Amino acid sequence: MNFLKRRSLWGMLLVLLVAVTTLGCKNDDDDDEVSTEKLLIGTWTALGVERVNCTSADDNGTVTLDCPDFCLVLTVNSDGTYEDVYTDSGDITTTTGKYTVSGDTITICDDHDADCTSVTFTLSGDTLVITNLEEDSGCDVVLTYTRN
């Protein structure tokens, strides 16, 4: 009978150990997502725009941005808002809105027309690369930014 009591005790300890280990662990993926979102916060200046994989090869190409005359500056705020300032020969267009991050996807919702777009991104040090499919041309538009 002592054997059964000890076996029962070891069984309960094993169940308790498994429960504590399983329930006590937090999801590391959530930490990665939060960290990535925090790393996006700041001001980014576009270095260039590249159109690749276009339906028509003639639509492929690269444009180098040269601030302050031809410039695209993205500011990502910690409160889930953004500001995108585009300058072309003194003409300035500002777009504001809200964003959310999920994995490697940013969903951007423009305040002006409530239009939302999801784009993929990669972040490596002070370089942010955003890729978006341009539906009318079939091009992947790749914007490369550097942190200010």
Q: Specify the number of domains making up the chain.
A: 1
Report pLDDT digits (tens) over 89-115: 889 999 999 999 999 999 999 998 778
Give pLDDT tens digits for 25-77: 444 445 554 468 889 999 999 999 999 998 888 889 998 888 888 899 999 99
Q: Would residue 126 count as lying in a domain? A: yes
On whether residue 27 sits in a domain, the answer given is: no
Per-position DSSP letters for the chain, written without gaps between them: -HHHHHHHHHHHHHHHHHHHHHHH---HHHHHHHHHHHHH-EEEEEEEEEEES-SSGGG-EEEE-BTTTEEEEEEE-TTSEEEEEEEETTEEEEEEEEEEEETTEEEEEETTT--EEEEEEEEETTEEEEEEEETTTTEEEEEEEEE-
Asked if the structure places residue 34 within a domain, the reply is: no
Instruction: Give the CATH number, domain containing residue 82.
Output: 2.40.128.20
Residue at 115 is within a domain: yes
Amino acid in the structure at residue 46: A
User: Structure pTM?
Assistant: 0.71
pLDDT of residue 20: 38
Instruction: Tell me what percent of the residues of the chain surpass a pLDDT of 90.
Output: 55
Note down the domain range covering 142: 41-147
